[in-house]
Structure 1
Amino acid sequence: MLRVSKLTDYATVIMGHLAGATDRLHSAAEVAQGTGIALPTTSKVLKALVRAGLLRSLRGQGGGYELARPASEISVAQIVRSFEGAVGLTECGSSEGLCEQESICSIRGNWQRINQVVLAALESMTLAEMIRPAPMPIRAVPRRHSASTAA
């Protein structure tokens, strides 16, 4: 199963929360309460998002967190990269030289094609789109079983 980390998932939830109310600054405690994510985890994620340049923080009385730019200018890929690093489904998908089999691998090019499609989807989806309800329910694609794995 391909999956982003829990912190990346929390980051998208937190960014969505902040994108939903851009008219003011938000304290870490308020974000934690609004998202249901524990305060220590919320604080950790907020700090990482500030380091990544996706949020701004202002200290002191009345301080808090806000988006560094409009939600329509922040891609899901940027949020994912801030926690996961380069997006790559396989070692050869994110950068060259990580896999010992790279020079003789017959399927490397196709893994790279798949990686490009996934990355393009993450790049094309903005935070503004993420906070809107999905236009239609997404149904899971049934798994196909080969004859050798069928019971």
Structure 2
Amino acid sequence: MRLSSMADYAVVIMSAAARHCGACALAMPDGGKRSLLSAGQLAQETGVPAPTVQKLVSKLTAAGLLRSSRGVGGGLRLARPPAAITIADIVEAVEGPIALTACIDNGKHDCTLEGQCNVRPHWSPVNAAVRGALAQVPLTQFVEEA
């Protein structure tokens, strides 16, 4: 089992944003405006290609993990403190609900075993356990020195 490269890149981008912004939006008198980042800065710092950063920033912003300001002096910052953002939040922002098998998705009927599968009902607790494990890992853990 591996995360997709997009989910991995999203964690890298969010970690970089956390290193720059941290809880700046809550702790700084200027609302963190001095710590705003551009997508270009994130691409340069992380090595993730700029078009990929743009795509991920859109998803992370739509999920409420990043906040974006347009115009002169605009940029990106974390929408909430890094301790309040988990790896599960980031993965789900990019990939959707965490599930190890596609048959768990409602409306998908592309499995040839679906009609006689006895295993399908048992995936929900497994998926919940994986999501729960990722939900226990705050973004701050990825910012700290190893």
**Shorter-normalised TM range:** 0.7 to 0.9
How many residue pairs align between the two structures? 132
* Amino-acid identity (%): 42
Q: Runs of 5+ in structure 1 lacking a partner?
A: 135-151
Per-residue displacement from partner, 1:9-32 (whole Å, max 9, x unpaired)?
111100000001114000111111
Per-residue displacement from partner, 1:15-63 (whole Å, max 9, x unpaired)?
0000011140001111111101111211111122111111001111221
1:79 equivalent among 84, 90, 95: 90
Higher relative contact order (CA closer than 8 Å, sequence separation 6+)? 2
Using the TM superposition, give the Cα deviation of residue 121 of structure 1 relative to its aligned residue in structure 2, in angstroms: 0.6
2:132 equivalent among 120, 125, 137: 120
Using the TM superposition, give the Cα deviation of residue 6 of structure 1 relative to its aligned residue in structure 2, in angstroms: 1.5
Partner of 2:40: 29
CA distance in 2, matches of 1:103, 1:70: 46
Using the TM superposition, give the Cα deviation of residue 125 of structure 1 relative to its aligned residue in structure 2, in angstroms: 0.9
Partner of 1:15: 14
**Which residue identity is paired with 2:101?**
T
Partner of 1:67: 78
Greater C-alpha radius of gyration: 1
Partner of 2:32: none
**1:91 and 2:90 aligned:** no
TM-score (norm 1): 0.76
Q: Is the 8 A contact 1:92 1:112 kept in 2?
A: no
Q: CA RMSD in A?
A: 2.0
Partner of 1:41: 52
CA distance in 1, matches of 2:20, 2:77: 9
TM-score (norm 2): 0.78
Distance 1:45 1:97, change over 3 A: closer
Q: Is the 8 A contact 1:4 1:84 kept in 2?
A: no
Q: Runs of 5+ in structure 2 lacking a partner?
A: 25-34
